[in-house]
Amino acid sequence: MKKLPPNTISPAVLDGLAADATNLLKELISTPSFSREEKDTADLLESFLKQNEIVPNRIFNNVWAKMKSYDSTKPTLLLNSHHDTVKPNAGYTLDPFEPMEKDGKLFGLGSNDAGGCLVSLLSVFLYFREIDCPFNIIFVASAEEEISGKNGMEALLVTLPSIDFAIVGEPTKMEMAVAEKGLMVLDCKSTGAAGHAARDEGENAIYLAIKDVQWFREFQFPKVSDFLGPIHMAVTSIETSNKAHNMVPDTCTFIVDIRVNELYTFKEILKTIQENIKSEVVPRSVRLKPSGISTLHPLVMAGTKLGLISYGSPTLSDMALMPFPALKIGPGDSARSHTADEYIFTEEIKKGIELYIALIKNLKAELENS
């Protein structure tokens, strides 16, 4: 059982926040918001803020707000989660856009990743708007998180007031992800020579690619991070442009997903790869670097005093784009993300709100006593 401070929040207030958050999440589920297509959920969030007498701001489909008591002389805490979703996979048996409650679960696309976190953090933002704190609080509902798009958090950060530290809402079972792996995606191409499949002609680019694919499968970078573990490489797609059964393909392309710990630079990883495979290698991006926050940071210390567990996350979030300390934590379970018939327990939303409030109250005490 987590160690909550006494009188963290009254049961009646908590029940009201949880009910409002769940109702908002149902509206979000009912409103398709695929990455780069989040206009309607951005409109919905703007409307919700206005109904609660908060002035919303908007950059592209990112919606953000600051408290009326914002004071530029104080440090600023960012509360962030995203409102875009992936597209539903073929395994869905339920309507992904029809919120349904059953056995304590709320089903719907984006319910777990990251709608539950988003509405919980928004509830917390509203709760603290009347509480005097030694820091400002800014709320951000970001877009394009699922594709690490340039019109999401990256575009928003250049316009926001100065941020000192952040809570990033992602489904972590309310455990503290104090570090997360970076991401580098590689487009690789092997080149052979075309020929007729019936004769021993040409050089099959698929066979050349297979040798490199096998290297990615077997190679292990020697440095292993205490929090993030080893670098992980996975070939996730392979194809040729050849549609004829009787032609040896002269090119074969494949994609590699690489999850990077903090012990290597992207340049070092690329150098090792290029020294060991024959295929041409082109990185799509080198901007999604590993990120983390010190376990001695007041935000982490505040969570530790609640008995919250710390760990390193293998998955990426907007935390990777933040040039300030950030803690990833939220209700829900990452194992449910992007799965068919996605769901979150409504009790997880309630408990998430309660723990977020306790975390921020502990942070308030940490800073007031420092």
Q: Which residues pair with 77 in a beta bridge?
A: 137, 165
Confidence (pLDDT) at 216: 98
> Residue 278 contacts by C-beta under 8 Å, 6 or more apart in sequence?
190, 208, 211, 212
Region 339-351 average pLDDT: 97
pTM attached to this predicted model: 0.90
**Mean pLDDT over the full length of the chain:** 95
Confidence (pLDDT) at 141: 98
8 Å CB contact between 342 and 109:
yes
- Per-residue confidence band for 93, with pLDDT thresholds at 50, 70 and 90: very high
**Where are the strands (E) in the chain, listed by range?**
57-59, 62-66, 76-82, 100-102, 105-107, 136-142, 165-168, 176-180, 182-191, 195-196, 232-239, 247-248, 251-260, 280-283, 291-292, 310-313, 326-328, 343-345
- Per-residue confidence band for 132, with pLDDT thresholds at 50, 70 and 90: confident
Looking at the predicted structure, is the pLDDT value of residue 1 above 50? no
Helical (H) or strand (E) element with 359: helix 346-369
- Per-residue confidence band for 5, with pLDDT thresholds at 50, 70 and 90: low
Rg (the chain; Cα; Å): 23
**CA dist., res. 279 & res. 10, Å (int):** 61
**Tokens for 119?**
């509405």
> Residue 102 contacts by C-beta under 8 Å, 6 or more apart in sequence?
none
Per-residue pLDDT tens for 176-220? 999 999 999 999 999 999 999 998 889 999 999 999 999 999 999
Percent of the chain with pLDDT strictly greater than 70: 98
* CA distances from residue 198 to 35, 89, 207, 248 in whole angstroms, order as listed: 46, 39, 16, 9
From the list 70, 85, 229, 201, the residue with the least C-alpha distance to 143 is: 85
Q: Each residue of 257-295: b (16+ CB within 10 Å) or e?
A: ebbbbbbbebeebbeebeeebebeeebeeeebebbbbee
Region 248-269 average pLDDT: 96
Looking at the predicted structure, is the pLDDT value of residue 292 above 50? yes
**Tokens for 151?**
């019109």
> Residue 145 contacts by C-beta under 8 Å, 6 or more apart in sequence?
35, 82, 84, 114, 152, 153, 317, 318
Confidence (pLDDT) at 6: 54
